[in-house]
Structures are given as structure tokens and as C-alpha cells.
Amino acid sequence: MPNDAEKYLFITGKLAEPALRREVAELSGKLGFAYEIAVLPITVAALLTTPWIARRLHVPAGTTKIVLPGLCRGELEALSQVVGVPVERGPTELAELPTFFGQAKRPMDYGKYDIEILAEINHAPQLELAKLLAVAAHYRASGADLIDLGCDPGSTWIEIGAAVRELVERGHRVSVDSFNPVEVRLALAAGAECVLSVNQTNLAEALAWHRDYPHTEVIAIPDAPADEASLQITAEGLADAGVGHWLDPILEPIGFGFAASLGRYIQARKRYPAARMMMGVGNLTELTDTDSAGVNVLLAGVCQELGIHRVLCTEVIPWAKSAVREFDLARRLVRHAVANKVLPKRIEPKLVMLRDPKVHTQGLAALGELARNITDPNYRIFAEHGELHVMNATVYLRGCDPFELFAELLKADPRLDCSHSFYLGYEFAKAVTALTLGKQYTQDRALRWGFLTVEELEHRNPGITPS
């Protein structure tokens, strides 16, 4: 965050000067820093290189930092040594300048949540202890509050006590997902704090667990999903005995009573306004042909509005492999929306993964101007208006098919070698992906996939030194 002791020098070309002046003036008014803008004798700022700037730049007295356009090429440290002032590369898009200066739209108090995540390790008895501990560590890093050990029906996991002890010693809170009373008692004796699940079939055993382990909590479920009366009987039996419990009316998959099951959560909340409730979201995320992030956000919103403060997440099916992290982000987003009566929109960019919230474009006129003014052999690649654009000092080609475009490029530029061909092919692939999905493409930068983004090392056009 800048302060009033700092003075910035913003570098730009002629085309971007008016917009940059408006944006910087507004930021300066908010943040109180001093600034000057150096408009260099070049039309398009994307053509700038640090050696070229070093030969032409006059740095005003009192400047504490120089901010270059994001697409400016060359070594920052070398320029800094020449001009005697720290140099930083700014954002590639002018619209991102407020974020660059820490003026994100996200509120300062954002990030609170009141929904706990139980992350289930499916078929836990089949995993070696080292693998089980690794999965638990992954879940905790993803945001899980409890590790739920999913047991296999029809068998008894005699080693469950040892697994629970290892997890507890590593700081995990543990729940056991089993109707096998032997497994449950072994887990509780080792430090598990919650049992999934209890209905009329094992209610008597739950009361006995409470006598031996009075701090144990259980999840109460109906004998069958639509049997609301059985849930009421179980819940009242647990309450009468003083057993800590959560109600889970059971979410059903689409086509098997999904809408009706949501209604049962609403009815349970009306019947038990002070009851703690849980929802197992896997019946939707795991059993629906769609990426799980959007489903998790929707269900998190339902939970937040109904006061359902626990969820059970699973990561079994490939499209739900990041479900725990998704719900961790979603619970923060929906709490903020509900608590502040605001839309859950343009607040959590990490959850927007397939497409980008906004795509910035240069425009065909600016691309044409850029192509006419390039004087070096470095290739610039853009993805705009449904086409790929590739240009340098001697070439400007555009088209929809990267294979056809590359064939034209080989004819126009016989100097292309293997390294350049690989580089261009890699960038073309990213650009086509961006056009297909409606994402922002910026050469030499990773496509943004929300919290799944993997940053790229800057490689620039190989084998060519900016001049």
C-alpha cells in the first residue's frame, strides 16, 4: 500500500496516456501518493523494452519507484541500475491498476465463516496408514475442520483405533462414519469426537456411547430419507438423554427426490429452530455431471440461509477432486453475502474457474496500430474477436485455426527454429483455449483458473534479446 511519502513515475506510450492519467489521478486521490507520468515517443506501450527506455527516460527528482506497463519487455534490475530508482512491472491491463495498488473490492473483514467442513476419507480401511495421514493432511490444508473416516459396511476395521490416535496426535479432529458398533467404540476410545450416523436402528447404542464418552456428538438421520417421523423420534430420544447431536434430513440426488429433500431441511429448521444441522453435499457434487464448484456454492448458500453449520464433503469422483477447497471458499463467500445483505458477486475470484469474470481486449484498431509500429523480431500473440493474432516487425497474421496460421507463419518467416516453433505452438494452444472458453489471454502468462491456477515462469520469445 503506497503512502504520501512515495512518488511514482508511470511510463506509458501515446495511445494509453489519457486513460492512464484518469486512472492514476483517481488512485492518487484515494491513496495520497505523488506521481508523474512519462509519455515516451512511442505509440503503443506494449512495444517498450527496458533497454529502449533506459536510453530515453528522464527521472524526475524525488521519484521513489517507476512503474512500467505490464507488457514491457526486458530486465527490470538492469533498468533500475541505470536510472537509480526501483522499477516494477505493473499490470498488463490498465483496469487492473487498482488491484495492483491493493485496492481490491473485497471488504477488509471478508473471510469469516460459521460452517464446519467434515471431509470424508472414503474407504478408509483400505488405505495404508501413511496414505490415510497424507489424505487427511491434504484435507486440512484445503480447509477441512474434521476428518471423517468412512468405513466399509459388512466388515470390521480393527485398526481404526490406531488410525484415529495417529490423526489426533497430528492435531486432527476426527469423526467416524459407521453403523458398526465395534468400529465406533474403538474410534471413540482413541479420541474420535463425532459419529455418523444414528437413527432408530442404533439409537440405544448411541445412548450407551454417551454414558461412556459423554462429550461424543452424533449425526441424527431418518431411517429412510423421506421418513421425517423417524428423524423426529431419533432426535427426541437423543435430546432426552442429553446426547449432543446434529440433524441431517439427508440430501438426495437429482431425480431421486432432490427438491423434496431440500424441503425437508426447511421443515426441520422450522420444527427445530435452535437445532444444529448438517448436510452431506456429496449426493449432489458426486452424483451430477457437472464441475462441483458451482454446486458447492449453491449448497453453501442454502446452508447459510437455513443455519446449517456442518457439511460433509467428499472428493471421490474426478470432477469433485477439489470439493473441500471449493466449499471452504464458498462458505466464506455466502456468509459475507448473507451477513451483509449483498450479492455474492465479484467478491471471490478464486471460485470463477472455467471462464473469467471479465476479458480485456486491445481492439482491432489498436492491434493494427501495434503491428505497424513493431520494429523488433519478437512475436506478439493476442486472442481477440474470435481470432488469433500474431505479429512482429515483418509479419501480421490472423485467423481462427492455429495450424493454418502456423503454416502461413512458416512461409512468411523461414528463420523459425524448433525452440521458436515450440514456443509459438504452446502460446497458440493457450490462446485457443482462451477463445473457446471466453478467458483472458495474455502472452507469457498463465491462464487464470481460480484457485487452481498454476503460475508460469516467464519465458518470453526464446532466443531473442529485446532491443
pLDDT in tens, 72-114: 888 898 899 999 999 999 988 887 888 888 776 667 778 999 9
What's the CA gap between 339 and 113, in Å, rounded? 10
Entry pTM: 0.82
Beta strands in 13-86 (DSSP E): 34-39, 65-68
What's the CA gap between 381 and 388, in Å, rounded? 7
Residues in the chain: 467
What phi and psi, each to the nearest 5 degrees, are found at residue 353? -115, -45
pLDDT of residue 414: 84
pLDDT of residue 224: 96
What's the CA gap between 19 and 95, in Å, rounded? 10
**52 and 31 Cβ atoms separated by less than 8 Å:** no
Burial bucket for residue 343 (CB in 10 Å: 0-12, 13-18, 19+): exposed
pLDDT of residue 466: 35
- With pLDDT > 90 as the criterion, what percentage of the chain qualifies? 72
Domains of the chain: 7-100 (3.40.50), 116-347 (3.20.20.20), 364-452 (no CATH)
pLDDT of residue 30: 84
pLDDT of residue 48: 86
The β-bridge relationship of strands 194-198 and 116-121 is unpaired
Maximum alpha-carbon separation in the chain: 85
- Provide the 3-class DSSP secondary structure of residue 449: coil
Which residue in 302, 310, 299, 300 sits closest to 275, CA to CA? 310
**253 and 261 Cβ atoms separated by less than 8 Å:** no
Please list, residue by residue across 64-78, b when 16 or more beta carbons sit within 10 angstroms of its beta carbon and e when fewer do. Answer: ebbbbbbbbbbeeee
Burial bucket for residue 290 (CB in 10 Å: 0-12, 13-18, 19+): exposed
What's the CA gap between 238 and 276, in Å, rounded? 13
Residue 261, C-beta contacts closer than 8 angstroms, at least 6 positions apart? 225, 249, 250, 251, 252
pLDDT of residue 106: 67
pLDDT of residue 463: 41
pLDDT of residue 359: 86
Which residue in 112, 121, 94 sits closest to 187, CA to CA? 121
What's the CA gap between 56 and 39, in Å, rounded? 11
pLDDT, tens digit (0-9, with 9 covering 90-100), for 194-239: 999 999 999 999 999 999 999 999 999 999 999 999 999 999 999 9
Q: Provide the edge-to-edge strand list for the sheet that holds 116-121.
A: 244-247, 217-220, 194-198, 173-177, 146-150, 116-121, 310-313, 278-280
Burial bucket for residue 409 (CB in 10 Å: 0-12, 13-18, 19+): buried
Beta strands in 324-454 (DSSP E): 380-384, 387-391, 396-399
Q: Where is 227: in which H helix or E strand?
A: none
What's the CA gap between 306 and 169, in Å, rounded? 34
- 156 to each of 153, 184, 185, 197, 466, how far by Cα in Å? 8, 10, 11, 16, 67
Tell me which residues of the chain have a pLDDT lower than 50: 461-467
